[in-house]
A = this chain, B = another copy of it.
Amino acid sequence: MSEDAPPFQTQDHDSLTIPLLSHQQRSINSTSQVAIVGANVCPIESLDYEYWMAFLVFSLSNLALTLFAAIITAFISPAAAGSGIPEVKAYLNGVDAPGILSIRTLIVKIVGSIAAVSSSLLVGKAGPMVHTGSCIAALFGQGGSRRYGLTWKWLRFFKNDRDRRDLVTCGSAAGIAAAFRAPVGGVLWRSSLLWRAFFTTAVVAIVLRALIDVCLSGKCGLFGKGGLIMFDVYSANVSYHLADVPPVLALGVIGGILGSFYNFLLVKVLKVYNLINEKGIFYKIFIACTISIFTSCLLFGLPWLVSCQSCPSDASEDCPTIGRSGNYKKFQCPSGHYNDLASLIFNTNDDAIRNLFSKNTDTEFQLSTMLIFFVTCFILSIFSYGIVAPAGLFVPVIVTGASYGRFIGMLIGSWGNLSHGLYAVLGAASFLGGSMRMTVSLCVIILELTNNLLLLPLIMVVLLVSKTVADAFNGNVYDLIMKVKGFPYLETHAEPYMRQLTVADVVSGPLQLCHGIEKVGNIVHILKTTMHHGFPVIDESPHSESPVLYGLILRAHLIALLKKKAFLCTPVQLGADAFRHFSSDDFAKKGLGNVDKIEDIELTDEEMDMFLDLHPFTNASPYTVVETMSLAKALILFREVGLRHLLVIPKISSILFSLLLTNHIIQMPDAVTAESTSGGHIDKA
């Protein structure tokens, strides 16, 4: 469980001429430098000193790597900690928290993720890759980073929220596609923008394929071997029958319960971590180091508990091995024997998953080994997630699920017809379904990982059952993490209680109005006293016969106007030359997290008494709803059209009344409490 270098399989031309089955059942594993040390390179046996030295080197190198990842994360970019998927999801839902998609985060995420995965922590790389893809997309969208002088003029086409969000959606799709080599799965993880995301992931697939082609010549070291399918262990026909359905259903039910329990524990641990983390940056790093040492002890200590297995006589590779690759790790066993738990632990996660998924390894593992491995993974993945380092959830969940599935498969034993490896695949599916709940995209990702469509009906059943069961307990893991992190999140579907409320019940006060031609001082007052991001603009006499709602103006635009100081001495309406002083750049969306603040604008008393004509800068056709509309109905409008602001108007029952009550800004209960952060947008999921 060390460096997570992609474990490639040979995929040369010879493979066409030899039978597939013998070729693909067992893949060639590659284990990292660290694992070599742990696996005891020097073949002197039963020498306690050797083992203690090995443990020391193992745990110290793990600790050093973890420390490095934790320090760069904590000091340079705390936003890079964790999976990144909740942050990306939050961004796509309108929360534009500072630093989420900055260039610092990008660099820390890449470097830190490599260090964290290499340090034997049970953390994944898929989430960080999604975050990386999103960061790159966001940087492209804002034309580079102005702070570091890295800007490209020709990239600055994406001046508004919607275009940037679409770009980030495609970037995150590219991340999924690259992490799992699953282009279609990448398209599906956000179901919007099908066509553009498809284009993005197609490019990813082609680049991946081209790199694989280049590396086939053997110039890429560890990366030199491998194909497009990560766990290609089921090319053969799989047969299953009606009698196999009950155990599969049971797998789904238990997976759903385990998955929701996993989510529950993960959130509890995260909350505890949050409490400790609040005490200071060194507490954060302390937790990371503690978890690293704890992990090293577990990984090095547990293999001593299991009994040695004698090597099979027909083993297709060396048994036992002490090198960097090989599925039969010797560890402390006498010659002619191997330690099956060590074989799982001192391998990359990907190789461990491949071994668990393989179909002809039914006799390789013991029941007790499987149970120990499952419990270890379950615990480690929960405690490893919250530390201050980039840490994905996908791979840990797949490892845990695969070991759980294989354990169940071994329990069922000869009663069923399915191989233990198939149970592992289904176990991984059920645990993923129970924890992440994304049925369609997960289904496609699992298919793209294992490359066997014959498994499709079983995988669909398992995902359906586990998602349904888990939904009865709690939400999906990313939404729960978002809640813990305090990101507001607008639900896709209206909750039942929303049908009982009207929009008038949830409008946020106090109502602040601008007039069509407003005194600068009033605008400054409004901006300073409220944090709203949009304000209704009202026309009153003498500019119109009676008060009329003219439209909605954004805070960002008001600030841009104040910054330009193109004020009027008298309250007169501007003509067509209103934009004379402005270029489109003035109103362009700023880089993420960089917002001009009203406090930074200095105005003289004289200027405060001058006027601004807001008409040319106002959105004259904002979306409006009547105050009696049910909250559920307004929520649909908010989500589907991707609104940030919704004006609530009263019934036009009489003039006098409408004068006073004309407009409120509505803020959905959980939606735009992100008023403290800069402008974002609601995604239509």
CA separation between A652 and B547, bound complex, in Å? 8
Residues of chain B contacted by A464 (CB below 8 angstroms): 198-199, 202
Assess whether A13 is in contact with B239, with CB atoms less than 8 Å apart.
yes
Residues of chain B contacted by A150 (CB below 8 angstroms): none
Copies in the complex: 2
Assess whether B198 is in contact with A237, with CB atoms less than 8 Å apart.
no
Chain B residue at smallest Cβ distance from A194: B440
Assess whether B11 is in contact with A16, with CB atoms less than 8 Å apart.
no
Assess whether B239 is in contact with A184, with CB atoms less than 8 Å apart.
no
Which of A28-36, A305-313, A444-452, A602-610 participates in binding chain B?
A: A444-452
Assess whether A237 is in contact with B11, with CB atoms less than 8 Å apart.
yes
Chain B residue at smallest Cβ distance from A462: B202
Chain B residue at smallest Cβ distance from A662: B652
Chain B residue at smallest Cβ distance from A206: B457
CA separation between A671 and B23, bound complex, in Å? 58
Q: Shortest distance in angstroms between A196's beta carbon and chain B's nearest beta carbon?
A: 10
Residues of chain B contacted by A444 (CB below 8 angstroms): 184, 444
Number of A residues, CB within 8 Å of B: 77
Q: Shortest distance in angstroms between A556's beta carbon and chain B's nearest beta carbon?
A: 20
CA separation between A228 and B455, bound complex, in Å? 10
Interface residues of A in 407-466 (CB under 8 A from B): 439-440, 443-444, 447-448, 451-454, 456-457, 460-461, 463-464
Assess whether B453 is in contact with A448, with CB atoms less than 8 Å apart.
yes
Assess whether B205 is in contact with A457, with CB atoms less than 8 Å apart.
yes
Assess whether A202 is in contact with B454, with CB atoms less than 8 Å apart.
no
Which of A319-327, A511-519, A580-588, A633-641 participates in binding chain B?
A: A633-641
Residues of A within 8 A of B (CB): 11, 13, 15-16, 19-21, 183-184, 187-188, 191, 194-195, 198-199, 201-202, 205-206, 208-210, 213, 227-229, 235-237, 239, 241-242, 439-440, 443-444, 447-448, 451-454, 456-457, 460-461, 463-464, 544-546, 548-550, 620-621, 623-626, 628-630, 633, 636-637, 640-642, 651-655, 658, 684
Given contacts A209-B457, A624-B624, could you give 18 more A-B pairs where the C-beta distance is less than 8 Å?
A: A19-B19, A20-B236, A183-B456, A183-B457, A191-B191, A194-B439, A198-B440, A202-B461, A202-B464, A213-B241, A227-B237, A544-B653, A546-B654, A621-B629, A621-B630, A623-B625, A637-B637, A640-B684
